[in-house]
Structure 1
Amino acid sequence: MLKAAVIRWAVPGDWVKLGELQARSYHDAYRKLLPHDFLNRVTAESRQSECRERLREPGHTGILLIDHKAVGYISLRFPISPQQGDGEITALYLLREYWGRGLGTRLMDWGLERLRERSCTEASLWVLEKNAAARGFYERLGFLPDGTRRVVTRGDEFVQLRYERRIGT
């Protein structure tokens, strides 16, 4: 099945499938971590409207397709100027039934290569402090917490930790 896996930039016509993927993978990732009332507000429809707007300017979200089915995605933020040098992984999600197959690593590798192409020397991302599985995944890929914390509201308040990794050019 991995041979049929393709990662490409999402285009404006992907807004429907990307919205569905975002809602479903978000529920998969946070089912046991975030309040149910909050998760119930994360729907394909709410995500599709955001995707439709965001995809007007393509080149920030990579979509993973297996046999033409959207099963994962990675979103990137590039520096405003090449002198800044830092890029950010703003999202990386995969449908639960595809976990443990190396596809998350493939998505991350693809995203890091896109950041390198833009002369980024470091990549950062934010992860919920209590999301041990995600933290372990990022640490296996060479990301480490830099000590920066922030509080986000997802129905309740949660602490996120910033992780960074040097990626070179």
Structure 2
Amino acid sequence: MLKAAVIRQALPADWFELGELQARSYHDAYRRLLPNDFLSKVTAENRQAGCRERLRDNQEYTAMLLVDNRAAGYISLGLPIDARSEDGEITALYLLREYWGHKLGTRLMGWGMERLRERGCTTAGLWVLEKNAGARRFYERRGFRPDGQQRVVMRGDAFVQLRYEKEIEA
């Protein structure tokens, strides 16, 4: 049973723990969807290096979900670059597998949508692998819909991502 779950903005001092969380949750999410040789290159060490730089330079807006003071998930947001843009983006939302099914992803999503709303965003977008049916259901149950855009990304092989979008309630 889960005790205390808290969401807070990631701090520069979180780089080590966040990098480990990113690698583990990425493996959990894509274990059967992406090639093993690609996943083997996603390590805590290379994620930690990126986290250290981005958090130090304040290059992204990332929050961590802590359950019983242990990192369990995170969300990263892409905020509007200029005052004319009203579109925000959820660039990452991941949980460790052992926390799936406890509505913690919904809490992270709500936290992120609230931050985008506070920044004046009226829509939120995100990209999801076309073949990731579980993630697509998660987003669709929370009101996100495909907007018709697609892109191909390389993850060991070529994969199609779909863009989803949702209006942010004022």
Q: TM-score, normalised by structure 2?
A: 0.97
CA contact (8 A) 1:82 1:118 kept: no
Which residue number corresponds to residue 162 of structure 1?
Answer: 163
Report how far residue 2 of structure 1 moved: 4.8
Q: What residue is the counterpart of 2:34 in the other structure?
A: 34
Shift of 1:56: 1.2
Map of 2:18 onto structure 1: 18
The correspondence of residues 51-62 of structure 1 with structure 2, limited to 5 A, is: 51-58=51-58, 60-62=61-63
What whole-Å deviation, never above 9, does each CA across 1:27-60 have from its counterpart, x for those lacking one? 0000000000000000000100000011013460
Separation in 2, partners of 1:82, 1:101: 37
SS of residue matched to 1:130: coil
Hey, what's the Cα distance between the residues in 2 that align with 1:145 and 1:2?
33
* Aligned pairs for 1:104-119 within 5 A: 104-119=105-120
Q: In the alignment, residue 68 of structure 2 is paired with which amino acid?
A: D
After superposition, the CA RMSD in angstroms is 1.1
C-alpha distance in 2 between matches for 1:36 and 1:46: 17
Asked if 1:47 corresponds to 2:65, the answer is no
Deviation at 1:91, TM superposition (A): 0.2
* Stretch deviating more after TM superposition (31-40 or 79-88): 79-88
Aligned to 1:76: 77
For residue 24 of structure 2, give the secondary structure of its aligned residue in structure 1: helix
Alignment gaps of 5+ in structure 2 = none
Which amino acid letter does the alignment assign opposite residue 97 of structure 2?
R
Query: How many pairs are equivalent?
Result: 169
1:81-128 deviation per Cα after TM superposition (whole angstroms, max 9, x unaligned): 232100000000000000000000000000000000100000000000
SS at match of 1:55: helix
Task: Name the aligned partner's letter for residue 117 of structure 1.
Answer: E
Identity rate of aligned residues, in percent? Answer: 72
Q: Is the 8 A contact 1:82 1:120 kept in 2?
A: no
Q: 1:128 maps to which residue?
A: 129
Superposed structure 1 runs of 4+ greater than 2 Å apart: none
Instruction: Quote the Cα distance in structure 1 between the aligned partners of 2:46 and 2:120.
Output: 34
**1:139 corresponds to which residue?**
140
Q: CA deviation at 1:80?
A: 1.1
